[in-house]
Amino acid sequence: MPSLAHFPADAPADEIMAVLDRDGALILDDALSPAQVDALVDELRPWVMATPTGRDSFTGERTTRTGALVARSPRTRPLVMDKRILALCEALLTPNCHRFQLHLAQLIRIMPGQAAQAIHRDRWAWGRQMPGIEPQLNTIWALTDFTAANGATQVIPGSQTWDDDRKAEPAEIARAEMRKGSVLVYTGTVFHSGGANDSDMDRWGLNITYSLGWLRQEENMYLSCPPQAARELEPELAALVGYAMSNYALGYFTPPLAPGEGPETVPPEWALGGAGADAEGSLGGAELLATVIERARKTTKPVA
């Protein structure tokens, strides 16, 4: 049976990326202290305990998935903005986008008696288009120990190169066994699934994922974290949630106000009362366009 590579949480990003490119997944050990994990669990527990179980075998009849965590859980926000993970997003995603974004943040609780989830690719959320482009970087932060008995994630190392229809043999499946406070990092293309929980304890995993900024997010962040909640966030986190332009024309809006009472074509930051609009409250026209085109020319890498 294969195993996943383990790294210290502060390992250099280039070493991590080399293994991520080879295997599609790896584990960063002890990224959070036990005290940090316990405080996060205490904050999330009321929301988790109020969450109903899944509606089918894929979402899990003995599994709960608690969302809206950026708005609900201040202790989740530093994990979303973890510099170690964002460095990996920068390396993996920005060759194919101007800006990457938060794709979803949810607490997955696998309870005793849950069967193993069907093995799949997370990128199938968008269908089976875009071959050759990696659209997604995923993390699962272990808020309990992950063991083979309690549902540690199943991962097939190297399967990011497989055809969509290839089926994994049991001998090809690794288990993401790790101590609480560690984090599984995997791509949107590697095959994986939640494991069966044959133990008498819950498995809690904080699933935080990122995607190319020009794709629709799986969790609708503008509803999970509407402007009244996003105004409380640090600007960098608000931008990662989606309150920022991506490329020149992706993300602007027109406030639906009475005639003459509002601006036209403003960036998302306008909804938060932040910067990003000119004196009339509109995008900066030709000057902004020239700036964005020049920045894109310097930073955008061709798609292989």
Q: Which domains does the chain have, with CATH numbers?
A: 6-221 (2.60.120.620), 245-304 (no CATH)
| Structure confidence by residue, pLDDT tens digits, 69-87 | 999 999 999 999 999 999 9
The model's pTM = 0.90
**Residue 130 phi, psi dihedral angles, 5° rounding:** 60, 45
Q: If you write DSSP's letter for every residue of 257-280 in order, what string do you get?
A: PSTTSS-SSB-GGGGGT-S---TT
| Structure confidence by residue, pLDDT tens digits, 228-245 | 999 999 999 999 999 999
Residue 120 has pLDDT above 90, yes or no: yes
Select the more confidently predicted residue: 14 or 301: 14
Bridge partners for 104 per DSSP: 209
* Mean pLDDT of the 175-183 span: 98
Please tell me the predicted confidence (pLDDT) of residue 28.
98
What does the alpha-carbon distance between residue 77 and residue 65 come to, in Å, rounded to a whole number?
Answer: 18
CA end-to-end span of the chain: 33
Please tell me the predicted confidence (pLDDT) of residue 274.
56
* Mean pLDDT of the 122-141 span: 96
**Residue 272 phi, psi dihedral angles, 5° rounding:** -100, 0
Q: At what angle do helices 83-93 and 13-23 cross, to 10 degrees?
A: 50
Please tell me the predicted confidence (pLDDT) of residue 273.
87
The rounded mean pLDDT for the chain is 91
Please tell me the predicted confidence (pLDDT) of residue 156.
98
| Structure confidence by residue, pLDDT tens digits, 138-148 | 999 999 999 99
3-state secondary structure of 3: coil
